Structure 1
Amino acid sequence: MIRARLSIMMFLEFFIWGGWFVTLGTFLAHNLSASGGQIGMAFSTQSWGAIIAPFIIGLIADRYFRAERILAVLHLAGAALMYALYQAESFTAFYPLVLAYMILYMPTLALVNSVSFRQMADPSREFARIRVWGTIGWIVAGLTISYLLAWDSATAIAAGTLRNTFLMCAIASLILGLYSFTLPATPPKAGDGQGGIREWLGLDALTLLKDRNYAIFFVASILICIPLAFYYQNANPFLAEIGVANPTGKMTLGQISEVLFMLLLPLFIHRFGIKITLLVGMLAWAVRYALFAFGDAGSGVGLLLLGIALHGVCYDFFFVSGQIYTDARAGERFKSSAQGMITLATYGVGMLIGFWVAGMITDYYTTAEGHDWASIWQFPAIFALVVLALFALSFRGQTQRPSAQDA
């Protein structure tokens, strides 16, 4: 019973995110006439939310409130902001609302994990079976938009129908907010949050950067977020603009592959080691964008679908394996702080830079007819190859699976 309740929570949590974030760039470009730079600003609110989230969770939620109650309040407030986004008629009105929403939403990612972990006897075995429902929620959101409601068809986009994604997510956020009050009580633990902001921002783990290999990995993690931002910001507008049918639904191939490659990741790390795993993840980013550069909505649609399906390799083999590597290098003392540090660096600083760069590149290659997508995608492809080459030459980590002793 508890497992089913937590699964519903995860499903709604990621249904909400996937229900508007994937099509955000397409909506802004077609309905609010936003420039590439403005679209980058809107996407970068995710990064600002990731930077501010530790303050909310570490200094407020974990000290004074039950996790499920603050989860409820944040989603109820989020529902109101989502409805306001649904009504926004200009980018000037839209931006402060989406910024406020992401500052409230990003902490909920940690809160749903906290609620789940506190109900589990063995999180290492049980959590994946709960978390996978979040990925399913994201997939269902995309399929609903494309195949059930057809909001991302060319005619629907022209008619402004994508605006309805915000209304749909406002309703889902309202449901999750009310539902959260029924979740198992998750009061603060004795000592929770006592490490203060240094622990939650990961500053206690800065000593890891004294290790040359980890410092190289850390810098590479920030840099590879620049190509990552191009996918989040431009993939859906790209597919819609060149005439790919049901682009949002097709993009769910990325989440499906993420689940499959997550299962293969432990075997790959064990067989080939952490360095090769990280390099494969970086190479996948370059290959994906090359496929996007040469694919089209006609005979080349297979290249686009393959590029989307590479998301599992791109994300799991670099970011998830990077979290595993960070955990191994940190040891018992800095495990939580180290994960906070790498999350803040990647989803915060790295993607903040990435969305800014993606906006500038997109504006530079904007033409009267639309966009020079081949040139836009070549930039992150080449950038990922440069990061890969520098990492391959400078990182001297062991080729075996990571342990607390190796680098």
Structure 2
Amino acid sequence: MDDGPTTRSSPPALAAARGQTSHWSRRRRSKGSRPLAATRATFAMLYAVDGAILPFFSVFLARAHGLSAGQIGLVLAIGGAASIPAPFLLSMLADRFGRAVRLLMLVLTGSALTLLAMTVADGYWQIALVYALFMVVHESARPLLDGVFFKAQRRTAQLRTVSYHRVRIWGTFGFMVPGVVIYFAMSDDTSLAGLPAVASGLALLAVVSAFHLPTRRAPGGAPEKTKNQLASSSLPELFKAAGALLKRPTTAVFVLAMFCMQTSFTAYSVFYPLHVTDVVGLAPRWLGLITNVGVFIELGYMAAFAWFVRRLGWRWLMVAGAIAAALRLVLLAALPTAGVAVGTQVVHGLVIIVLMVASRVVLDQQASSAIRHTAQGLFAMIVIGGGRIAGSAIGGLIAAHSISALFWSAAALSGFAAVLLAWCLRHFHSDHPT
């Protein structure tokens, strides 16, 4: 008996249909993973630039160009001063016109070009000028990238449940790699003159990865502002909103506390390499490897970030980081040995997750959607830029007499930051995913 045309698919047709469905599912998963992959890659490449130059820079200035501790401090202070307005102004432009990724690619290209120029710069003032130009563009990259992520986190479905520390940890990976490679590529008497060229190449790779960052709201993402609404926020309105953010007493004290902590951290990071080479007596090639001891342990702190937040809360996590920074400096000042120089790297990760990760989340939580980029730029201008000027310039003057005295002073400043953080975060709560 003929029942008419069957509605069931034949086995080959069914297999083909399943194969086609699987194909499109894989494509959807691939597209869905692109925003996260691009974000991770850009963080890794951006911080790889830092990893290729920062651990060695003061020794690079001293050995390759013959600068004194005071001159090194002044060069870094000039760079910090030059970089102060740029992150804030470019971040405001990102909020005003909604072109944060394009601006990020532009400043990364500028970083590559200025680092390349540093390989041919000669003399104190040429070095100072080129470094100042590098800082103007490079210091704008971090707040722009942070803002891109925080904006995409609210607008892109694939990033909505991804916490900041889970993408920032890729910056830690990126920072580690150049130091390890340089250690094995160098001997004790190898010149550091080629390091800026290495960092320049990494900056160009960051441009490539930034090209693929998420810039549009994907289906399922939570809209914040339409393009027309975004364009209605004029620059004076953005200035006013940023000023209102700083007028809150708790926010103002938080920014002051982070400024103190950044100043202390700058004094440490600038003169720790000279402490290792000139006071402890190790060869420069060891700097990358010693630094990476701390960075490797930092990976564990990054991975455990959510656990720290649950166990300590945001307030006491921030306080613990400031206390750890102070304790590290006290040990370095009191016991200038190779064992202490390496051993104090154990707390480096705790300092970093507070200074570079938790602080961004705390600030983002207090900012409105209209100034998502601007808030990060304001933080970079006041805290990072201002702290680097103070830490480099004042630190250089103190270090010219005694690096130990500098570390004692920086420890006191971190202790003061811990007190301020305990006060200003006593009522803080965050709805960011951890």
TM-score with structure 2 length normalisation? 0.75
For residues 69-118 of structure 1, the C-alpha deviation after alignment (integer angstroms, 9 at most, x for no partner) is: 44444333433322220112212111111111221222233444566664
Q: Is 1:383 aligned with 2:413?
A: yes
State the partner residue of 1:125: 161
Kindly state the Cα deviation for residue 145 of structure 1 after the two structures are TM-superposed.
1.7
CA distance in 1, matches of 2:366, 2:214: 34
Give 3-state SS (helix, strand or coil) of 2:111's partner: helix
CA distance 1:281–1:6, shift in 2 (3 Å): closer
The answer to whether residue 66 in structure 2 is matched with residue 33 in structure 1 is yes
Report the CA distance shift for 1:238/1:273 in structure 2 as closer, same or farther (over 3 A).
same
CA distance in structure 1 between the aligned counterparts of 2:101 and 2:182, rounded to whole angstroms: 29
In structure 1, the partner of 2:363 is 326
Larger Rg: 2
> Aligned pair 1:402/2:429, yes or no?
yes
**Which amino acid in the other structure matches residue 86 of structure 2?**
I
Deviates more, 1:252-261 or 1:190-199: 190-199
Judging changes above 3 Å, is the alpha-carbon distance between structure 1 residues 75 and 206 closer, same or farther for their aligned structure 2 residues? closer
1:389 Cα offset (Å): 4.8
- Aligned residue identity for 1:374: S
Letter in 2 for 1:125: T
Equivalent positions of 1:72-91 (< 5 A) are 72-91=105-124
| Of 72, 90, 115, the match for 1:56 | 90
Among 383, 390, 394, the alignment partner of 1:357 is 394
1:317-364: CA deviation from partner (whole Å, max 9, x where unpaired):
355333344344556676655444433321122332222211111123
CA RMSD of aligned residues (A): 3.4
Determine the C-alpha separation between the residues in 1 that align with 2:299 and 2:231: 32
Identity %: 21
Matched, 1:278 2:318: yes
The 8 Å contact of residues 277 and 318 in structure 1, kept in 2 or not, is answered as no
Equivalences for 1:2-151 in 2 at 5 Å? 2=34, 3-44=36-77, 45-46=79-80, 48-59=82-93, 67-113=100-146, 118=152, 120-126=156-162, 128-146=165-183, 148-150=184-186
Name the CA distance, whole Å, in 2 between partners of 1:38 and 1:90: 11
Contact 1:218 1:342 in 2 (8 A): yes
Distance change in 2, residues 1:85/1:337 (3 Å) = closer
Contact 1:236–1:248 (CA under 8 A) maintained in structure 2: no
Contact 1:54–1:197 (CA under 8 A) maintained in structure 2:
no
Q: Distance in 1 between matches of 2:366 and 2:166?
A: 26
Between Structure 1 and Structure 2, how many residues are aligned?
Answer: 381
Aligned to 1:370: none
Partner deviation per Cα, 1:273-302 (whole Å, 9 max, x = no partner): 444323212211111112212344xxx433
**Inter-partner Cα distance in structure 1 for 2:371 and 2:112:** 36
Bigger shift: residues 85-94 or 264-273: 264-273
User: C-alpha displacement at 1:8, in angstroms?
Assistant: 3.3
Corresponding position of 2:17: none
Give the letter for the 1:18 counterpart.
G
**TM-score for the superposition, normalised by structure 1:** 0.79
Q: How far apart, in 1, do the equivalents of 2:377 and 2:203 lie?
A: 26
Any stretches of 5+ residues in structure 1 without a counterpart?
Answer: 366-372
Aligned-pair distance for 1:168?
1.1
Deviation, 1:182, is 5.4
Q: 1:305 aligns with which of 316, 326, 342?
A: 342
Please state how far the C-alpha of 1:217 moved relative to its aligned partner: 2.7
| Cα distance change on mapping 1:142 and 1:287 into 2, 3 Å | same
1:95-149 deviation digits (Å, cap 9, x = unpaired): 1111112212222334445666649424343465444322211100111122x21
Distance in 1, Cα, partners of 2:85 & 2:68: 25
